[in-house]
Amino acid sequence: MDLYLPIAEMPVSVLLVLAMGAAVGLISGLFGVGGGFLMTPLLIFAGIPPAVAIASVTPQIVASSASGAYSYFKRGQVDLKLAAILIVSGAVGAVAGAELFAILGREGQLTLVIAISYTLFLATIGGLTLKEALGAIVRNRAAAKRGERPKSARRAGAHVWVHKLPLKIRLRRSRLYISVLPIVGLGVSISFLGTLLGIGGGFIMVPALIYLLKVPTSVVVGTSLLQIVGVMSVATVMHAVASQTVDALLAFILMIGGVIGAQFGASLGQALRAEQLRALLGLLVLAVGLRFALNLVVEPGNLFAVTVIAP
Amino acid sequence: MRQLCALLALLVATPAAAETMVVALSRAKVEVSSNFQGTELALFGTIERDNQTVSRAGRYSIAVVVLGPAHDVLVQQKARRFGLWVNASGTRYQSIPSYFAFLTTDQNPATAAEALLDANAGVAPTVHRFVRDQDPYFAAFREQRQAEQRVIIRGNGVAKLTGRFFRAIIPLPGLVDDGAYRVRTILMRDGVVLDTNTLIFRVAKVGLEQTLFAVSRERPLFYGLGVVLLALVTGYVGGVVFRRR
């Protein structure tokens, strides 16, 4: 069954898009990540123009994070002040990201920038995750041989410089008294990247909040989810205004698929160990990164790129 | 004197060439709905002849040119820089038809294009470019559009059913732009244009597709906010429906 997408102006197979949404939803439920970094590449590889793919995945991220953010909020596991600073600074990053996105589109360089960014980004994140997870697996095996209980993964050392910055504020819910500067820095940079690449950025935000700002783990996930909902909402509106490439129909099909897939993923996730999950996620991220790298390095079949600038 | 006036009137009323055409399209509007995957339009025409003219049906040649709404296109050549394939030098084509079809009674469309140019027909430069331009950038553009069925160049694309009656099939792919499509039919004989005719059909999205598209272009802020609301509601409802125990 094919459906005509009004903004992409092309027909796509509903089942294919639904299946991709469900597959990514499954993975996001399994690993507890947003899945934007997989959804966007999948759509691009399936032939959706990168501009439409990124701008339409953005609202899908809002949908997949909204219910989680709401339930964390109800349980009081959100630092509202921290989330508000992240969202306000994130809005600045989102506006800049959407503007750059529109300019790159007009210059016909969007596809290239996306491919390079994804390659670097996914290879780094995937490599680090895999290394850390494999290390944990090896350590646990060794510990099990010695008859000890497996130890939890190492905690990062104290980042003293973060706590020496000026403009300190009190975050009551997180029981922190820290400078506002690293928070704003994180908010701006992650949402800039997220808007440009169509990713929520939860999988960078969560470790950054834990290791860099020492935010207690009890509020980290809820705060990060609320931040994603806020920033990706701003990013959706900005994309709709700046490049007009948000396809509501495509986004809606992805949302439906994602919501369904996430449920299966969550129950599947219970059956696997945390390190194994992280190793699998690392492999997956690395594989998508390599796929992008291959496109960049291998001589393309068609040596010309045709971009429609204005309708 | 009276007789002379009558003769003059007759001369004015009768064009230099006595053949004219009547052309009709099977549809004036193509509606793009959610299940649109392309369609076809049929063009029918007859050649009308006054009594003085001798029938020479075999030597008529007919060309049908379809021009879709214009858009701007950037064609870039990929080149290897620092080991990576990047979009390098490019050429911009301003307001080029988003859809182009050239259907002829001639077997070879290139000769038909040449004949149009020689006869100084109005659309000849555009046709000539699409059919014969060998510039590598334009050729790459044409090749991609041909693969998408948005450039169609077809010799024998106009069929003469009888000496006077002809038919052409205009294929439209799923990937078409909205707007007015001009269909120009040119009747020629021995390198002389006898008659031309222009018809217009419109391609328009209908229903939900049309509403979404129009709102996204005319009120982008409203559209963006609407999509965000949709996402929040879907996310919330999804969470309620599939609540984890």
Which residues in chain A are contacts of B236 at CB distance < 8 A? 66-67, 70
Is residue A172 pLDDT above 70, yes or no? Answer: yes
Whether the CB-CB separation of A1 and A15 falls below 8 Å is answered with: yes
Best of B72, B145, B228 to disrupt the A interface (most A CBs within 10 Å) is: B228
Residue of chain A with shortest Cα separation from B73 = A308
Is residue A53 pLDDT above 80, yes or no? Answer: yes
Residue with token string 């609320």: A226
Query: What is the average per-residue pLDDT within A130-134?
Result: 84
Torsion sign over Cα A176, A177, A182, A185: positive
Q: Which amino acid, residue B74? A: L
**Residue B125 contacts A, CB cutoff 8 Å:** no
Give, to the nearest 10 degrees, the angle between helix A248-269 and helix A36-45. 130
Distance of residue B157 Cα from the nearest chain A Cα, in angstroms:
26
ipTM surpassing 0.85, yes or no? no
Please give the Cα distance from B76 to A305 (Å, whole number): 5
pLDDT of residue A59: 92
Residue of chain B with shortest Cα separation from A55 = B224
pLDDT tens, B141-153?
A: 898 888 888 999 9
Which residues in chain A are contacts of B151 at CB distance < 8 A? none
In DSSP notation, A54-85 reads HHHHHHHHHHHHHHHHHHHHHTT---HHHHHH
**Residue A16 contacts B, CB cutoff 8 Å:** no
Residue of chain B with shortest Cα separation from A67 = B236
Residue of chain B with shortest Cα separation from A68 = B239
**Residue A310 contacts B, CB cutoff 8 Å:** yes
Instruction: Name the strands in the sheet holding B100-104, side by side, starting at the edge strand that comes first in the sequence.
Output: B29-32, B192-205, B179-189, B60-67, B100-104, B151-154
Residue with token string 């940079």: A189
**Residue B223 contacts A, CB cutoff 8 Å:** yes
Length of chain A: 311
For residue B52 the two structure tokens come to 């003085």
**Residue A3 contacts B, CB cutoff 8 Å:** yes
Torsion sign over Cα B89, B93, B98, B100: negative
Which 3 state secondary structure label does DSSP give B152?
A: strand
pLDDT tens, B166-206?
A: 999 999 988 888 889 999 999 988 888 888 888 999 988 88
In DSSP notation, A233-262 reads HHHHHHHHHHT----HHHHHHHHHHHHHHH
Distance of residue B237 Cα from the nearest chain A Cα, in angstroms:
8
Query: What is the average per-residue pLDDT within A138-151?
Result: 74
**Residue B71 contacts A, CB cutoff 8 Å:** yes
> Does the predicted TM-score (pTM) go above 0.95?
no
